[in-house]
Amino acid sequence: MEKNSSWKKTQKKIHNMVSTGVVDSKLNQFYDIFSTLALIANLVCAFAITFDSVEARFGTLLQVVDEITVFFFAVDYVLRLITAEEQYKGEPAGKAAVKYATSGYGIIDLLSFLPHYLPMFFPAGAAVFRMFRVVRIFRLFRINAYSDSLSLIGNVISKKKTQLLASVFVIVLLILASSLCMYSVEHDAQPDVFRNAFSAIWWATSTLLTVGYGDIYPITAMGQLLGIVITFLGVLLVAIPTGILSAGFVEEYQMVTRLADIEQERDIHFIKASIDPGDAWIGKTISEIAMPSGSIIALVLRDGDTIVPRGDIKILLGDKLIICAESATESMLEDVKEIILRKNHPWNGQKIKDLDISRQTFIVLVDRDGKTIKPDVNLVLQEDDKVLIYTKENIRKYMNGPLV
C-alpha cells in the first residue's frame, strides 16, 4: 500500500511536469521551456538540412540535434503514457493509457518520433516515414495553455463543427455532381483529358475551391457554359464555411465582452493559515474539522500542489489552507472573483469538467441558494449560482505575502 502511494505521488509529479501550463515549480517551468526549445531546434534542423550548402557544412551537427530532440520526444511520450491516469481521473491505468494514445495529442506525440525509427525496420518506406515527421510542428499547439487567445480557433471550430461538417458535405456533393456532368459533356470531345470520372473530379475540385489549375478545362460550348455555372456555385459554397467561422469568432468576442453585463464581480476575501507542529488539525480529514458558521476550507496548498479539498483529504504538517470566511477583512487574497450566473450565461447547465476555462483558472466553490457546495468535476452549474474563481498567478502572488 505504501509503495503504491509513493508511486501515485511520483506519477502526479511527473504528470504535472509533462503537462504544458502547469508551472507550480521550477522543474515544471524548465520542462516546458526545454520541450518548446527542443521542438523549435528540431524544426530548424528539418528546414536547414534541405539546403545543400548548410548540410555540407553543418550536416553532422544537425543530425546530432535531430537525434537528441527525437529521443526527447520519445521519452516525453512514454512519460505521458504512464501518467495518463492523472489526466483521465477515475479511469483504470490501461484504459487511461489507451485514451491518451488514441487522442489527437497522443497521435501527434507518437508520430513525432516513431517515423524517425521505423526506417531501421522498414528501409523501403523511408521516404514515406520522413513525410510524417512534419506532424511534429503540431506539438506547438500545446503552448495555448499559456494564452486563452490561442485557444480561440479551436473553440470556434469545436462549437461550429456541425455547421462546418454540413457545409463540407454540400461541397463534396457539388464536386461529385459537377464532375459527372462535366465528364458527360466533355468526354467525347476530350477523351484523353476527361478520361474518367476521377479526372473530372480533379477539374471540379480545382474549379470549385480555387480559380482552376489550368491543366484540364472544357472546350465545348456546353462544357464552358457548365463551367461558368459551377464556378459561380463554387464561390458561393466555399464562402459558407468562411462565414460560419467568421460568425463564430464574432460570437466568441461578443461573449467575452458581454460578461461585464451578465456577470457581477466583486473581490472575495480569503484567509491563509499555515499548519505548524502541534496543530490540532494535523491528521484530521476535512469532514472531521468543525469549521465556524459561514466559513469553509476552499483550498489546500501542499508541496507546490493545489488540492481542492474533499471530505476524505487529510490535513498534514506544513499544509497551507485557504479559508473562505464571510467576515474576513484582513490579510486577504485579492483578485479572486465571484461570478453570478445569469440566465444567458454560457456556463448554465454545464458540468464543471466541461467548462471552457483556462488551465490557469480554478473554481474554488459554488454558492447555491445560500448553501456552499464543493466544486466536484461532475457538478452541474445552475442559474443564479455564485461561482468563485481564481488563477494560479494570483495564488502564487498571495503565497509570497504574510501568514494570518
Hey, which bits of 35-161 come out as E strands? none
* This prediction's pTM: 0.52
Residue 298 predicted with pLDDT over 80? no
Q: Which fold has domain 2-146?
A: Four Helix Bundle (Hemerythrin (Met), subunit A) (1.20.120)
Confidence of residue 68 (pLDDT cuts 50, 70, 90): very high
Listed range (249-258, 260-269, 307-316) with the worst mean pLDDT? 260-269
Cell 464543471 found at: 352
Distance, in Å, from the CA atom of 95 to the CA atom of 255, rounded to the nearest integer, reads 36
Residue 150 predicted with pLDDT over 70? no
Give me the mean pLDDT over the 324-331 stretch: 47
Distance, in Å, from the CA atom of 256 to the CA atom of 250, rounded to the nearest integer, reads 10
C-beta atoms surrounding 45 within 10 Å: 20
Which residues are within 8 A (CB) of 340 and not within 5 positions of it... i.e. 6 or more apart?
A: 263, 264, 384, 385, 386, 387
pLDDT of res. 294: 62
pLDDT of res. 75: 92
Domain residue ranges in the chain: 2-146, 161-262, 270-399
Listed range (93-97, 196-200, 310-314) with the worst mean pLDDT? 310-314
Distance, in Å, from the CA atom of 272 to the CA atom of 387, rounded to the nearest integer, reads 20
Q: Which fold has domain 161-262?
A: Helix Hairpins (1.10.287)
Confidence of residue 148 (pLDDT cuts 50, 70, 90): low
pLDDT of res. 263: 44
Average pLDDT, the chain: 77
Dihedral of the alpha carbons of 4, 5, 11, 15, in degrees to the nearest 10: 150
pLDDT of res. 373: 77
Instruction: Give the CATH number of domain 270-399.
Output: 3.30.70.1450
Q: Which amino acid is at 342?
A: R
pLDDT digits (tens, 9 = 90+) for 77-120: 999 998 888 878 777 888 888 888 898 888 888 888 888 888 77
